[in-house]
Amino acid sequence: MKISTTHQKFANDLKDQTALEYPEYFIGPNWKDVLNFWIYLDTLSGEKRKIISNRFDNLEELGRLTSITLKAAEDTIGVKYVDAAWSAPPSFASAYATCELINSHNLESFNFLPLFLNP
């Protein structure tokens, strides 16, 4: 399994390298989607990251969306793991997209993940 820089930071933040071998125990039922997204993050150039951050900053109702997304992820995998999953990605946009993916089995639509399409 390829390990992204975000996945490595996640395991380091948890102080538990088991998260590298058994991510399903830490990230929840959508762990494969989360890991694939984290690998994708490693491919983004600085310019693309800037485009995504601008999109994030311009979202309507950003405060409400971030609060709802974070709470839903906490309900799925618990606060301790969400704290590590939120702080591991390289930007706020990618942190909230990660939380959205963690809880994606309960969602009808996404608010943060589309920010990463065609940057």
pLDDT of residue 31: 97
Q: How many residues does the chain have?
A: 119
Q: Which residues contact 99 (CB under 8 A, 6 or more apart)?
A: 69, 70, 72, 73, 82, 85, 86, 112
User: pLDDT confidence of 28, banded at 50, 70, 90?
Assistant: very high
Residue 67 to residues 38, 59, 71, Cα–Cα distance (Å): 21, 14, 6
User: pLDDT confidence of 1, banded at 50, 70, 90?
Assistant: confident
User: pLDDT confidence of 37, banded at 50, 70, 90?
Assistant: very high
Query: Other CB atoms closer than 10 Å to residue 35's CB: what's the count?
Result: 21
pLDDT exceeds cutoff 80 at 83:
yes
pLDDT exceeds cutoff 80 at 26:
yes
Question: Per-residue pLDDT averaged across 75-85, rounded?
Answer: 96
